[in-house]
Amino acid sequence: MTYDTNNIFAKILRGEIPCNKVHEDEYCIAFHDITPAAPVHVLVIPKGQYTSFHDFTAQAPAGMIQGFFASVRAVAMKLGVDQNGYRLVSNHGADASQSVPHFHVHILAGRSLGALLP
Which residues does the annotation mark as catalytic?
104
User: 6-24 as b/e, with b when 16 or more CB fall inside 10 Å?
Assistant: ebbbbebbeeeeebeebbe
Report, in Å, the least distance between residue 31 CB and ligand 5GP: 5
In the window 76-95, what residues touch ligand 5GP (CB under 6 A)?
A: 91
Choose, by CB under 6 A, the member of 2, 6, 26, 35 that binds ligand 5GP: 35
Rounded to whole angstroms, how far apart are CA atoms 82 and 41?
Answer: 14
Which spans of this chain sit near ligand 5GP (rule: CB under 6 A)?
8, 19, 31-35, 43, 91, 97-100
